Structure 1
Amino acid sequence: MKSITAIIFSVAIVLAAIVLGNAVINRNKHQGTINVTGLGESNFTSDLIVWEGNFSRNSSDIQSAYANLEKDRKAVTEYLVSKGIPASQLVFNAVTTNPQYRQNYSDDGRYLGQTFTGYQLNQSLQIESKEVEKVEKISREITELLNQGIAFYSQQPRYYYTELESLKLEMIAKATEDARIRAEKIAENSGSELDDLISANMGVFQITGQNSGEDYSWGGAFNTNSKNKTASITMKLVFEVD
């Protein structure tokens, strides 16, 4: 009986030694995480332009105003086609009609009501084209229509990029690689080894004008005023380290 007890006691001592030994090993093993943020950035040039403008006519007679506006529409079309814009790219919106009134006041400043003076008819057009430089040049020269008696008001062109989805994927890859390089450097400097990736979170995609000094937006900046732009995105990665 005593021998059996001695054997059990000996086994218990060995098991306890094994458990305590593992505890010391696990306690001394360095484990933790590294949190890094990588940046992906690229400059690009817009390959699509959207340009809008409008013209109007005033008359006390609505039929006369519409007839003059129709003449202006034909003249605008001929001008743009002569500049190399296909007629199929000219999108004219519906004519809007606005009654015009004159406000009347007495000599002592009392309001006396209003008098109908006629109608103002407006029409706008939009051009969407991949010939960015051509449309950009026309938007600056459109004032030539003033010589034909057409009051054409040009808006600032808007610039877009048709390969945006591919660009986003490229930026994500760049940001991820940048974050990994940063994490590896941190691990190396701390005497650790980079282990598994725990999580990855993508930041907001930002598009700003090149060298514009624009601020980033929490919801993501999307510049349409500049032809030359900069795209950027961040990736936040968390790695285990040994």
Structure 2
Amino acid sequence: MEKNIKNVTWVLVAFILVVGMVGSSMVVTNGIVKAKGAQNTLEVKGSAKKEIKSDFVVWNGSFSIQSTDLSDAYTRLKESSNKVKAYLVNKGMKEEDLILSSINTMTYNRVLPNGNYTNEIESYKLYQNVEIRSNDVDKITSISRSVTDLINEGVEFQSNPPQYFYTKLSDLKIDMIVLATKDAKVRAEKMLETTGNSVGRLYSARVGVFQITPLYSNEISDYGINDTSSLEKEITAVVSCEFEVK
């Protein structure tokens, strides 16, 4: 009886070992299949870069008057406004293209020798903004640099840097994606040259953020850059492509 129990035990042990070996071989085999499958594709990043010149500009400046008398400040600000409009029209702008803001007013209270402010108004400062939006980027750029000549006419004028935009950006982005994808394919072909394999169909493509930067800039951002400070700039596109390896 004891002998029979031992025989049954050995049979069970042998059975478990066989099942374990079969299971192990299945795991190994599946691992090999997955590894081979992973080698059938190649992921490559392609990029494209192009120089562009802005075709739309937004520029604004401001002028102000400070006086102890509010009525006097208003009268003098109107005089400055007329000088600003005359100057810009003389530079080739149409008066209807000038966007003038409403007049803003600031009050300055008298300060005591100990540094405390009183309720007594010491002076008034009135200021107004002027803005131009135009496709003539070269003309507006020139105006933004010379308009402070109004200071010689008694106008306290401050010119802000123009903001430059490229209005055909949506169409350009599509072209850049195509170029970056072609670059990715060329890179993949170069990588496979020495292996005897070739590039097959495109399985997937992921478009990265666009970087629009001043010329010769190395600046990048995970969220993308859209520079508006430069008239001439550079757009860069990156595409991650997964190709079939034949």
TM-score range, shorter chain: 0.7 to 0.9
> Does the Cα contact within 8 Å between 1:52 and 1:157 map onto a contact in 2?
yes
Task: Kindly report which structure 2 residues correspond to 1:161-180, keeping only aligned pairs within 5 A, or say none.
Answer: 161-180=166-185
In the superposition, the TM-score normalised over structure 2's length comes to 0.80
Question: AA paired with 2:179?
Answer: K
Task: Kindly report which structure 2 residues correspond to 1:118-129, keeping only aligned pairs within 5 A, or say none.
Answer: 118-129=123-134
Tell me the equivalent position of 1:220. Answer: 224
Classify 1:112/1:204 alpha carbon distance in 2 versus 1 (closer, same or farther; 3 Å).
closer
| Residue 236 (structure 1) shift | 0.2
Looking at structure 2, the residues matched to 78 and 224 of structure 1 have their Cα atoms a distance apart, in angstroms, of 28
Looking at structure 2, the residues matched to 209 and 194 of structure 1 have their Cα atoms a distance apart, in angstroms, of 35
**2:221 aligns to what SS in structure 1?**
coil
| 2:102 pairs with one of 58, 75, 94 | 94
**1:189-233 deviation per Cα after TM superposition (whole angstroms, max 9, x unaligned):** 22223223221000101111112x341111111111111100011
| 2:117 pairs with one of 113, 116, 124 | 113
**1:148-169 deviation per Cα after TM superposition (whole angstroms, max 9, x unaligned):** 1101100111111111112111
Classify 1:192/1:97 alpha carbon distance in 2 versus 1 (closer, same or farther; 3 Å).
same
Looking at structure 2, the residues matched to 45 and 216 of structure 1 have their Cα atoms a distance apart, in angstroms, of 20
Looking at structure 2, the residues matched to 198 and 57 of structure 1 have their Cα atoms a distance apart, in angstroms, of 65
| Residue 58 (structure 1) shift | 1.2
Looking at structure 1, the residues matched to 86 and 244 of structure 2 have their Cα atoms a distance apart, in angstroms, of 67
> Does the Cα contact within 8 Å between 1:105 and 1:113 map onto a contact in 2?
no
**1:105 aligns to what SS in structure 2?**
coil
Q: What is the root-mean-square deviation of aligned Cα atoms in Å? A: 2.0
Residues 1:61 and 2:65 aligned together: no
Classify 1:51/1:175 alpha carbon distance in 2 versus 1 (closer, same or farther; 3 Å).
same
Task: Kindly report which structure 2 residues correspond to 1:34-45, keeping only aligned pairs within 5 A, or say none.
Answer: 34-45=42-53
Classify 1:45/1:237 alpha carbon distance in 2 versus 1 (closer, same or farther; 3 Å).
same
| Residue 64 (structure 1) shift | 2.1
Question: AA paired with 2:61?
Answer: G
Percent identity over paired residues: 37
Tell me the equivalent position of 2:192. Answer: 187
Looking at structure 2, the residues matched to 58 and 149 of structure 1 have their Cα atoms a distance apart, in angstroms, of 12
> Does the Cα contact within 8 Å between 1:57 and 1:122 map onto a contact in 2?
yes
**1:216 aligns to what SS in structure 2?**
coil
Q: Which consecutive unaligned segments of at least 5 residues does structure 2 have?
A: 1-28
Q: Which consecutive unaligned segments of at least 5 residues does structure 1 have?
A: 1-22
| 2:86 pairs with one of 78, 89, 93 | 78
Classify 1:82/1:40 alpha carbon distance in 2 versus 1 (closer, same or farther; 3 Å).
same
| Residue 104 (structure 1) shift | 1.6
| Residue 112 (structure 1) shift | 4.0
Tell me the equivalent position of 2:6. Answer: none
**1:224 aligns to what SS in structure 2?**
coil
| 2:140 pairs with one of 112, 135, 144 | 135
Looking at structure 2, the residues matched to 102 and 172 of structure 1 have their Cα atoms a distance apart, in angstroms, of 61
Residues 1:210 and 2:215 aligned together: yes
| Residue 125 (structure 1) shift | 0.9
